[in-house]
């Protein structure tokens, strides 16, 4: 079955009513036929029929043995971090979503987990960071927001040789463009709020495990901590995923066109998009993915230009988040990565001139026209 077909049909067979769309089971609890027998569902914190369909769908799309649907992307990250114990060491990418860094520093490190940050695009840095107590590497590719690309096959081989897990946040590319488990990763994480749902109307997150052992551990954490996705939200995600392939193609079309257009603007210093052949990660991306996604970062000539551009755009919206049908322009240093120190931002290339663009599914010409009028008014 092709990916696009799975997006529509991998939720499983219709129920006894023949309904084309799955039912929304809002019940918090489920009756048992008799002592010792169950319908397969008992309490919605543990499992729910609507959410179970979504989890089957996500596991199928990512090629994992099991998926879990959480109430947010950060709840999914937190669940994965609960796999580790005080004294464990984790290597993380130098450039990650700011909320992941906030969790690692303020909660996990306080509880005794040790972290080392590296540029995961540089294999020598990863090898140098490995310790006897290293249990995992946590990375994004492309990274948020500087679009650094890492070789997942090579990193997975290093991890295998040194007996630690590979955890990949696949939010930016989704399984439509990139399948980390097939490239050697052990766990995939998503902020499903973004491309998977795709309409800026649901907060959710996912984990997908490659092995049953890890899947069982994550499911225990899931039902114990209770940060689970509700049935109505699960239904909305199922509906959103049906159009994932169509949306991702339009996101990518818009991103490439805008990246090439932005390169020609006098007030733009540089553009970061893996689909540009001059991007340092272009070859690796082309080798391990089937597409380049819809995310662009670019730097303008001054902080004032960045501020004015955020004010002058009309069709494109100045807002956090990404991956929805609407195009969004974000100012990472003041929004998504505001918890980092100025020194950390500078080291990562997150300057007060850097903007991050999530291209929506609008007509390409309209997005270019919006930027044209915004730049013209500066």
Supply the DSSP symbol for 229: P
Record the tokens describing residue 120, joined without a space.
């995961």
DSSP element (H, E) containing 356 = strand 354-358
- Listed by start position, the domains of the chain span 3-241, 245-376
| Residue 270 a catalytic site member | no
Taking alpha carbons only, the member of 171, 304, 341 closest to residue 248 is 171
Q: Could you report the per-residue pLDDT of 94-104, keeping only the tens digit for each?
A: 999 989 999 99
- Please give the pLDDT value at position 334: 82
**How far apart, in Å, are the Cα atoms of 261 and each of 300, 357, 367?**
14, 13, 11
Q: Which of 268, 259, 349, 330 is nearest to 305 (CA)?
A: 268
- Dihedral sign, CA of 321, 92, 206, 225? negative
Query: Active site includes 45?
Result: yes
Q: What pLDDT is stored for residue 338 in this prediction?
A: 79
The whole-angstrom separation of Cα 146 and Cα 96 is 9
User: Considering 53, 179, 194, 219, which one is annotated as catalytic?
Assistant: 194
295 phi and psi, to 5 degrees? Answer: -105, 135
Interacting residues of 326 by C-beta distance below 8 A, sequence separation 6+: 200, 317, 360, 362
Q: Which of 239, 231, 241, 237 is nearest to 50 (CA)?
A: 231
* Angle value at C-alpha 67, between 37 and 282, nearest 5 degrees: 170
Under a CB-based contact definition with an 8 Å cutoff, are residues 250 and 90 in contact?
A: no
Closest CA to 96 of 139, 152, 150, 156: 139
Q: Pick from 364, 142, 367: which is nearest to 273 by CA?
A: 142
**Cβ-based neighbours of 279, under 8 Å, separated by 6 or more:** 147, 149, 272, 273, 285
Cα 211 to Cα 119: distance, rounded to the nearest angstrom: 27
- Are 127 and 158 in contact, with CB atoms under 8 Å apart? yes
> Residue 333 and residue 306: Cα distance in Å, rounded?
11
In the set 51, 53, 97, 370, the catalytic residue is 97
Catalytic residue among 45, 122, 269, 317: 45
Q: Which of 61, 79, 291, 69 is nearest to 182 (CA)?
A: 61
From residue 158, alpha-carbon distances to 125, 138, 161, 166, 374 in Å are 12, 13, 5, 10, 46
Q: Residue 151: is it exposed, middle or buried by C-beta count within 10 angstroms (0-12/13-18/19+)? A: buried
Active site residue 239: no
Q: Which residues contact 327 (CB under 8 A, 6 or more apart)?
A: 254, 315, 316, 317, 357, 358, 359, 360, 362, 367
The secondary structure of residue 23, as a DSSP letter, is: P
Residue found by looking up tokens 């492309």 in the block: 142
Fold of the domain spanning 3-241: 3.40.640
Q: Tell me the two tokens of residue 139.
A: 């990375």
Neighbours of 24 (CB within 10 A): 17
Q: Quick check: pTM over 0.85? A: yes
Distance, first Cα to last Cα, the chain:
50
Tell me which H or E stretch contains 244: helix 244-263
Active site residue 194: yes
Assigned architecture for domain 245-376: Alpha-Beta Complex (3.90)
Beta bridge partners of 330: 356
Sign for the pseudo-dihedral over CA of 284, 286, 291, 295: positive
Which of the residues in the chain have pLDDT under 70? none
């Amino acid at each position: 079955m092709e990916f696009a077909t799975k997006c529509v049909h991998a939720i499983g067979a219709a129920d006894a009513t023949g309904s084309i769309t799955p039912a929304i089971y809002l019940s918090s609890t489920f009756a048992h036929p008799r002592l010792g027998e169950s319908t397969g569902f008992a309490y919605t914190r543990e499992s729910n029929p609507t959410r179970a369909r979504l989890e089957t769908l996500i596991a199928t799309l990512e090629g994992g043995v099991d998926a879990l649907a959480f109430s947010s992307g950060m709840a999914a990250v937190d669940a994965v971090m609960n796999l580790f114990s005080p004294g464990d060491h984790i290597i993380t990418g130098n450039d990650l979503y700011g909320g992941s860094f906030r969790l690692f520093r303020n909660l996990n490190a306080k509880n005794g987990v040790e972290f080392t940050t590296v540029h995961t695009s540089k294999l020598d840095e990863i090898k140098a960071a490995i310790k006897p107590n290293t249990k995992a590497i946590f990375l994004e590719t492309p990274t948020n927001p500087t679009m650094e690309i890492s070789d997942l096959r090579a990193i997975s081989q290093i991890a295998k040789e040194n007996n630690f897990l590979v955890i990949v946040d696949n939010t930016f590319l989704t399984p439509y463009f990139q399948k980390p488990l097939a490239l050697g990763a052990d766990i995939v994480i998503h902020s499903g709020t973004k491309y998977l749902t795709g309409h800026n109307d649901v907060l959710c997150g996912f984990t997908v495990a490659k092995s049953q052992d890890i899947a069982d551990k994550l499911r225990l954490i899931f039902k114990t901590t209770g940060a689970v996705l509700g049935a109505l939200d699960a239904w909305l995600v199922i509906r959103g995923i049906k159009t994932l392939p169509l949306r991702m193609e339009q996101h990518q079309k818009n991103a490439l066109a805008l990246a090439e257009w932005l390169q020609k603007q006098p007030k733009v210093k540089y553009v970061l998009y893996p689909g540009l052949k001059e991007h340092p990660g272009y070859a690796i991306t082309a080798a391990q993915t089937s597409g380049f996604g819809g995310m662009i970062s670019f730097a303008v000539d001054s902080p004032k230009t960045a501020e004015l551009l955020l004010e002058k755009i009309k069709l494109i919206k100045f807002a956090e988040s990404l991956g929805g049908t609407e195009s969004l322009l974000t100012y990472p240093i003041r929004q998504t990565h505001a918890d980092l120190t100025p020194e950390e931002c500078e080291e990562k290339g997150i300057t007060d001139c850097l903007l991050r663009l999530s291209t929506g599914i609008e007509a390409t010409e309209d997005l270019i026209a919006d930027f044209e009028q915004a730049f013209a008014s500066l």
